[in-house]
Structure 1
């Protein structure tokens, strides 16, 4: 009898460990999704020819901090991610200029309410124009907490986070490379804002956040530094 009791205790402990692991994998934020870590989502091809004239997008661009309850669709997300840092040339050149074509930036999608994309954190893979899940669950409330509780971060259906691996550029250009990286982030950020305007979406860039909190929320590697959060939604 004593041996059976010990076996039962071990089974209960094992189940507890498995349950805790599953909760950690889900990120503990929101409901777990049907997607799994590392899953790839192929994005629709972006529109490289049509769209509104550049002058119209420049005229329409404003910082929007209030969004409707309507979700974004995967085609809109595809267009915005491509505008941010998509590949535009067989040699690998991107939509944003980069000193030495070193491309130190990484772009993440924080999906909260996007059709055909389960809630979670995704890294954009420009060369294949696809998303790779790095964290399950809706972490918008967590980013809201580490971004001075700005309500639109919690409410926007999607957030783009632009980070940088400075060493990719400073390894060639030294300390001056830090400036080049920050300039490049500005180029990518403006691309997002203009793409949003051309799609009749609202967007706003945010720089007020706790870097460490954002890094932990997105499971960023140690060498990455978050530079931008851009909220995007329908208006």
Structure 2
């Protein structure tokens, strides 16, 4: 059952004019900062859909309605991917050594958002520049531009390297798979359309989003309400 919730992109729409620019998205200033974080709606940790039903219903879907993804659903997807689940800081997805190298973002036509697991918060910046080129950076897979929101999983391998050395990158990539599957199953429980995308130019997507050096893009997950 889809949960009625409040839209989220309006948080930053009033500030868009401050970020307007004719510069190409790939020249995005990496020093750009997000607005102060906001608290997200509390995640639903009980739900009404069983794990088995979510496994059965999960499908790769490439068609989306233009409906904006509500903030509460976005918050639930973020929590499924990297939410904190106890007082010791453990998260929904396993991590080698509990070092948590992953970062989660959401990109829309108007904003770039970054999930902060501690405190279940979101920081945003009004930024329409990455969106027009995101599908092209994914080898012109047009359905990416059809989705109202694209989730981005990135990773900072140096967080894992100190302990795991040469295998750190492999461990981080596996962890991205754990987080992605959590997100896909949560999307199925929310009756959302989504598909994991591994075909893209990671360096170009990182430039489009203005990610800092050392942060690598690992997965794109377009998500939205199914058509009809």
TM-score bracket, shorter-length normalisation: 0.7 to 0.9
Q: Indicate the RMSD between aligned Cα atoms, in angstroms.
A: 2.3
CA shift at 1:127, angstroms? 0.6
Verify the 8 A CA contact 1:26 1:136 in the aligned structure 2.
Answer: no
Verify the 8 A CA contact 2:19 2:127 in the aligned structure 1.
Answer: no
Verify the 8 A CA contact 2:25 2:208 in the aligned structure 1.
Answer: no
CA distance in 2, matches of 1:42, 1:184: 25
| Structure 1 segment 109-124 matched on structure 2, within 5 A | 109-112=106-109, 119-124=110-115
Go from structure 1 to structure 2 and tell me whether the alpha carbon gap of 1:166 and 1:25 turns closer, same or farther (over 3 Å shift): farther
Number of equivalences? 204
Counterpart check, 1:139 vs 2:136: no
Verify the 8 A CA contact 2:25 2:133 in the aligned structure 1.
Answer: no
TM-score, structure 2 length as denominator? 0.83
Counterpart check, 1:95 vs 2:92: yes
Question: For each residue in 1:24-58, what CA deviation from the matched residue of structure 2 results, as whole angstroms up to 9, or x when unmatched?
Answer: 499869xxxxxx94232321001011230000000
Question: For each residue in 1:73-114, what CA deviation from the matched residue of structure 2 results, as whole angstroms up to 9, or x when unmatched?
Answer: 1111010010010100111000000010000001111133xx
CA shift at 1:122, angstroms? 1.1
CA shift at 1:142, angstroms? 1.4
CA shift at 1:178, angstroms? 1.6
Go from structure 1 to structure 2 and tell me whether the alpha carbon gap of 1:210 and 1:223 turns closer, same or farther (over 3 Å shift): same
CA distance in 1, matches of 2:45, 2:129: 31
CA distance in 2, matches of 1:56, 1:79: 17
CA shift at 1:217, angstroms? 1.0
Go from structure 1 to structure 2 and tell me whether the alpha carbon gap of 1:137 and 1:27 turns closer, same or farther (over 3 Å shift): farther
Counterpart check, 1:214 vs 2:211: no
TM-score, structure 1 length as denominator? 0.81
Rg larger in structure: 1
Go from structure 1 to structure 2 and tell me whether the alpha carbon gap of 1:22 and 1:64 turns closer, same or farther (over 3 Å shift): closer
CA distance in 2, matches of 1:234, 1:167: 36
Verify the 8 A CA contact 1:111 1:138 in the aligned structure 2.
Answer: no
The match for 1:33 is none
CA distance in 1, matches of 2:197, 2:163: 29
Larger RCO: 1 or 2 (CA < 8 Å, sep 6+): 2
The match for 1:78 is 75
